[in-house]
Structure 1
């Protein structure tokens, strides 16, 4: 019960519920005002204008938000005008629907915010069919009122932004910390759950993608804030938490462990890994709790459980050495020590977040160069070339535009022939449900139908119990607010609440509410069915065929990141910024690859060709980036020795192998570079360097020098980590090349 109350409190205090209140308020205020002024007949068109232009109001920079809403207003008014003026001319209307549907759908090539403007345009076309306007005067008045509604919503959104300017940022930060906490918990399970690693790894792909998306939005928000004349203390706190969240995520990514190696070292000694596993869970749960406290503004929890768990993870290293004894215990001890160092760094970042949230004075200032920060932004390109490049049958969004156009035209013609009462409900269902890939369309269709049935059932029960208009009005307002609040979190519940809202509004207008319910359910089922069949039959975009360009990008960013890590090792002072930018871009590239793999899992089983091969390609790319991050993280956080020529030789070999994999995918002859020194000799020399340090340490132990000094420990850690990770990277790159050859062969055979 307590947990449910906590979740309810978080929901009511969160930005999603606040967004629902904002939209409901923008609708109710003109309704009430126009009612008392005696101009209520103008209210429906204004409400339509609000509905049409609200989708573009998403978290991000205020400038982009305002621009998106203004573009949306202009687009929706233009489309509404075209449809209303062409209604009497059926052939021209069909032509207009075709052109509008295709052209507006293609706007989505310019990113997520543009896709919402595209949705508003399609929504305007659909809702125009519901408007009974016959004369030019009525049409022009309707267009003017829609414009007023859009501008009114823009004003309301701006006022709410002024009243609570940091609501969206706080929610984004909270969601990010929560996701990272879940990711840490999942990584804890990966440590010892050998039989479940494949399933857990697939879950990790999804979490990585979600975290990267949150970070990208937050980068945009904070960069826009930095352009203002100054930042408040609260801004500084938010920025510090954001930076720590990035550091934590990148530390986690840097510790993508070689689980086969851990299984070898601790195959029958899993109990030595349990303190590290427990610490990961405690750290993850603590982050989740901090994410909740960002919304609740309550006292932060005690740090003692964190410190005690860290001490146990430290102590287990000594116990392991005592039990196994040196030199046999050296590899395992160094593996545990590296794991401990990583978790200690995680705890340091979490404690930084704690200090910021506790308003500790020395944690309230941060300074970043504006020109440096701007380089971390992934800017959306709005050049016409982006659209031109997507005017190809090979482009998934081009095929989606064709698909949704055919589906909408078919549904409209079908509704006209069968004289369906509310054809626009079918069209509305199609534009809400249809997505570029089959899996998401199917999932949304299922949720939409189930939600509609649930909403209809609830509404029927209430309508049968009472015919009180006041109750209908109150429930319509509540359901509308909750529907908008849950739209992104739980689409099934949102669909149920929207159905309840529509039915109660019709119940107020007309006494025949049960007939409305019947039509609502039937039209939803028809629209959902058309969406699913269109996605499956009309130029389907199966993810297995769209993966090639995502793989090419991941390989390129992997290579660039590895090269930046090499440069960092040579000169830490001058190359940190370039390294961090390369790291960020590689994480985004692998996030896109992970997202593509997730879409593949949603396709029909019969279309998931070579699923295991693609899973291996995704995992190998992910693991390579993590292995590179592990080297980079160690270099950044420790004083290192000068890099050897053997280090450079192995790195160059791995980079060359990655380049060969790209060439294979591009069907061009690979360019093989000659090794500076024989690669086997380089690996052997690196291994000998680590062995020599071990021998030296063993001699000191025999002399009675049991305690190891920090310098010697770091040298051993560096030699062990660099040697093991380089050997691992070389093996991974070779396996990746083999998998790429197999994948490219399959793709080429399919294209013959």
Structure 2
């Protein structure tokens, strides 16, 4: 009945969606801008001048990412100013090797320190180190150095103006593309959940996959928030805002579908209901993908998928279970579990329909928490000098990384002077800069991609020069490589490494008449740079387990705040779910950071791994607490008219205290003391809700069961946090 699920593939790598993604459009913008600026310069000057201007445009283009317009202007302007200063300083020092060495080491150190400002500063660090590397081969007089820096700045400003103009014209289109990416990730998340209904898949492994996918989804949802919630001014913006809101509500509804999958499999092991539930999840994912695909094409989306066969199969199974119960057979538990899942899945299908509807309507305004402060939902970036200075200490991973880069570059320069052929130290340095990343796992991945990509790129370039050495072919290959370079940098860096090798080698061939010996030398330089980067990845290394105590503490603090907001909402103390959404986002962000650290730790040497299983379970249990709260919200909403408010709130009050105490005890193990929620205050609140009455309410057993699961998982969080603390402290 259900279709087999395909392996998870990034949506932008699928031929159907690739050409509508913002990655491909970024490549087109990059290629058109860079090539256009170089050609425009060639109309008035020689090739040397054009290349200087082109390098300036290239470095600025590295900062061309989907961002709010004001942020984009600040980021790209910072790149122009900083890289212009770097190219001037390096060009002035290039004739004096001893002075150049000192300057390169210092620049590489301070450029690497910039990553204290977060993920958005990474391209600026790379741009700074890239232009430092490309400028070190220029032996210019002071006047020529000034002229070269001026041309570089001109190219940077030209690309800045071009990129800002395109971003302004396509500001709504970029919002659509980023929103569509978040929807595609949500579909991938549901695909992972679908396999929980398949007994062939191990539940523990599926939970691990789900948590990793949740981290990726949180990242894409944040990118969507940053673009869509910062500026929504017209009717077209109102549509993407409404789709975004529906996506977040749908995500919470999906969280509420969590159940005891082990019990579900036991009760329905031989039932077609499991296959039907998996088929429904699979179809929901495809339905959401259809919305995302319509958004990328600037069209309204209409529901075309039918869920009736799977729903009919579930109804038939429910009828069969009811007959068994009527006949006195022990099928009550299976009936309750399947009925609950049926209700949740129906709610999700209805919300997917609302998602389609949001893309069809025309809105006069953007009713997304009118007059509310959106700042808590948005990425906050402060470029303060105090943040940088605070990391000048040996226990700072960023400081150690910066020292590591500086030492590796010094070593690369020394090796470059000893090479038997014409020295190309800049290629060695460039390889080190690209490969050596803040974490060991990222360095290993970059090393593999850089080596394989460079080898393939060199082979392709050699084939072009040997067999297709015609200006039209070379120009076509150069244009395609220029477009591919930024397109795949966040998707498959190996493809970017291939493209950038082709692009640089063909540019060298056009500018200086390079030959096959040049390609061979570049291969040797790449292997040397990779070897140096590998050696220094162990020098002053910051292993992931060293950051675990802080990350665990952040998760526990975020969970405590989330539970406080959640119980206020569940008990009716707060009618507005805005604070709840803020705290849920904070917890999801903290879990995503911990999950990412654990994944990186698995790529480190075995001797540097700590408490892997307990971290896995700790992440899963925190995730389950969010799922239980989402399920409780869904239950209380469904029974809002007949709910015995006083009794339910008394139970929630006791639950709040028990969960809060478990989280507080876990934090105490990590040296942080927080107050435990007050039972008396919550009980006093419940007395004001309604008079006492009998608990003759169909939702009562479901709420009780969900509260028990909430308690059990909170206690497991305490157990696993203690195990992690012991393991890491022993290390």
Deviating more after overlay: 82-91 vs 277-286: 82-91
Tell me the distance in 2 between the aligned counterparts of 1:432 and 1:36.
Answer: 33
Paired position in structure 1 for 2:177: 171
Tell me the distance in 1 between the aligned counterparts of 2:98 and 2:440.
Answer: 31
- Structure 2 alignment gaps of length 5 or more: 1-8, 684-691
Tell me the distance in 1 between the aligned counterparts of 2:74 and 2:676.
Answer: 49
Query: Matched residue of 1:587: which SS?
Result: helix
Query: Matched residue of 2:166: which SS?
Result: helix
User: CA 1:362 to 1:747, structure 2 compared with 1: closer, same or farther past 3 Å?
Assistant: closer
Offset at residue 155 of structure 1 (A): 0.9
Q: How does 1:583-594 map to 2 (within 5 A)?
A: 583-594=584-595
Q: TM-score, normalised by structure 2?
A: 0.90
User: CA 1:255 to 1:549, structure 2 compared with 1: closer, same or farther past 3 Å?
Assistant: farther
Paired position in structure 1 for 2:335: 333
Tell me the distance in 2 between the aligned counterparts of 1:98 and 1:89.
Answer: 14
Offset at residue 127 of structure 1 (A): 1.4
Offset at residue 509 of structure 1 (A): 3.5
Q: How does 1:141-540 map to 2 (within 5 A)?
A: 141-193=147-199, 195-226=201-232, 230-231=233-234, 233-266=235-268, 268-296=269-297, 300=301, 302-325=303-326, 328-357=330-359, 359-361=360-362, 366-418=367-419, 421-535=423-537, 537-540=538-541
Paired position in structure 1 for 2:644: 641
User: CA 1:257 to 1:401, structure 2 compared with 1: closer, same or farther past 3 Å?
Assistant: farther
Tell me the distance in 1 between the aligned counterparts of 2:515 and 2:407.
Answer: 32
Offset at residue 408 of structure 1 (A): 1.4
User: CA 1:470 to 1:510, structure 2 compared with 1: closer, same or farther past 3 Å?
Assistant: farther
What are the Cα deviations for residues 657-715 of structure 1, in whole angstroms up to 9, with x where unaligned?
Answer: 1111011022x6898889769x9xxxxxxxxx99x96xx6xxxxxxxxxxxxxxxxxx4
Give yes or no for the alignment of 1:119 onto 2:126. yes
Query: Matched residue of 2:229: which SS?
Result: helix
Paired position in structure 1 for 2:558: 557
Query: Matched residue of 1:193: which SS?
Result: coil
User: CA 1:163 to 1:10, structure 2 compared with 1: closer, same or farther past 3 Å?
Assistant: same
Offset at residue 607 of structure 1 (A): 2.1
Tell me the distance in 1 between the aligned counterparts of 2:322 and 2:507.
Answer: 72
Paired position in structure 1 for 2:81: 74
- Whether contact under 8 Å (1:265, 1:332) holds in the other structure is yes
What are the Cα deviations for residues 391-442 of structure 1, in whole angstroms up to 9, with x where unaligned?
Answer: 3333322222121121112112221233662111111112222221111211
Paired position in structure 2 for 1:682: none
User: CA 1:303 to 1:563, structure 2 compared with 1: closer, same or farther past 3 Å?
Assistant: same
Paired position in structure 2 for 1:623: 624
How many equivalent pairs are there?
A: 707
User: CA 1:543 to 1:274, structure 2 compared with 1: closer, same or farther past 3 Å?
Assistant: same
Offset at residue 68 of structure 1 (A): 0.6
User: CA 1:513 to 1:485, structure 2 compared with 1: closer, same or farther past 3 Å?
Assistant: same
Tell me the distance in 1 between the aligned counterparts of 2:590 and 2:79.
Answer: 30
Tell me the distance in 1 between the aligned counterparts of 2:301 and 2:243.
Answer: 14
Tell me the distance in 2 between the aligned counterparts of 1:365 and 1:223.
Answer: 10
Q: TM-score, normalised by structure 1?
A: 0.88
Offset at residue 511 of structure 1 (A): 4.5
Paired position in structure 1 for 2:4: none
Paired position in structure 2 for 1:610: 611
Offset at residue 67 of structure 1 (A): 0.2
Greater helix fraction, Structure 1 or Structure 2: 1
- Whether contact under 8 Å (2:182, 2:220) holds in the other structure is yes
Query: Matched residue of 1:390: which SS?
Result: coil
Paired position in structure 2 for 1:736: 717
User: CA 1:343 to 1:588, structure 2 compared with 1: closer, same or farther past 3 Å?
Assistant: same
User: CA 1:415 to 1:194, structure 2 compared with 1: closer, same or farther past 3 Å?
Assistant: same
Tell me the distance in 2 between the aligned counterparts of 1:213 and 1:5.
Answer: 16
User: CA 1:506 to 1:669, structure 2 compared with 1: closer, same or farther past 3 Å?
Assistant: closer
Q: CA RMSD in A?
A: 2.9
- Whether contact under 8 Å (2:80, 2:153) holds in the other structure is yes
Offset at residue 65 of structure 1 (A): 0.6
Tell me the distance in 2 between the aligned counterparts of 1:208 and 1:558.
Answer: 16
Tell me the distance in 1 between the aligned counterparts of 2:180 and 2:103.
Answer: 44
Query: Matched residue of 1:436: which SS?
Result: coil
Tell me the distance in 1 between the aligned counterparts of 2:557 and 2:12.
Answer: 48
Offset at residue 572 of structure 1 (A): 6.1
User: CA 1:304 to 1:413, structure 2 compared with 1: closer, same or farther past 3 Å?
Assistant: closer
Tell me the distance in 1 between the aligned counterparts of 2:520 and 2:560.
Answer: 58
Tell me the distance in 1 between the aligned counterparts of 2:163 and 2:594.
Answer: 35
Q: How does 1:675-690 map to 2 (within 5 A)?
A: none
Tell me the distance in 2 between the aligned counterparts of 1:13 and 1:650.
Answer: 48
Tell me the distance in 2 between the aligned counterparts of 1:5 and 1:353.
Answer: 21
Tell me the distance in 1 between the aligned counterparts of 2:453 and 2:20.
Answer: 25
Deviating more after overlay: 208-217 vs 341-350: 341-350
Offset at residue 553 of structure 1 (A): 0.9
User: CA 1:510 to 1:248, structure 2 compared with 1: closer, same or farther past 3 Å?
Assistant: same
Tell me the distance in 1 between the aligned counterparts of 2:677 and 2:14.
Answer: 58
- Whether contact under 8 Å (1:430, 1:531) holds in the other structure is yes
What are the Cα deviations for residues 70-119 of structure 1, in whole angstroms up to 9, with x where unaligned?
Answer: 11111111222222222234333333222222222111111221222222
Deviating more after overlay: 23-32 vs 150-159: 23-32
Give yes or no for the alignment of 1:14 onto 2:21. yes
- Whether contact under 8 Å (1:80, 1:143) holds in the other structure is yes
Tell me the distance in 2 between the aligned counterparts of 1:99 and 1:509.
Answer: 30
Give yes or no for the alignment of 1:747 onto 2:704. no
- Whether contact under 8 Å (2:257, 2:345) holds in the other structure is no
User: CA 1:539 to 1:166, structure 2 compared with 1: closer, same or farther past 3 Å?
Assistant: same
Q: 2:106 aligns with which of 93, 99, 102?
A: 99
Query: Matched residue of 2:64: which SS?
Result: coil
- Whether contact under 8 Å (1:507, 1:513) holds in the other structure is yes
Tell me the distance in 2 between the aligned counterparts of 1:5 and 1:430.
Answer: 29
Paired position in structure 1 for 2:71: 64
Tell me the distance in 2 between the aligned counterparts of 1:671 and 1:365.
Answer: 39
- Whether contact under 8 Å (2:215, 2:596) holds in the other structure is yes
Offset at residue 317 of structure 1 (A): 2.9
Query: Matched residue of 2:171: which SS?
Result: coil
Offset at residue 69 of structure 1 (A): 0.7
Tell me the distance in 2 between the aligned counterparts of 1:261 and 1:510.
Answer: 70
Query: Matched residue of 1:574: which SS?
Result: coil
User: CA 1:379 to 1:641, structure 2 compared with 1: closer, same or farther past 3 Å?
Assistant: farther
User: CA 1:193 to 1:596, structure 2 compared with 1: closer, same or farther past 3 Å?
Assistant: farther
Offset at residue 443 of structure 1 (A): 1.1
- Whether contact under 8 Å (1:334, 1:720) holds in the other structure is no
- Whether contact under 8 Å (1:80, 1:124) holds in the other structure is yes
- Whether contact under 8 Å (2:69, 2:168) holds in the other structure is no
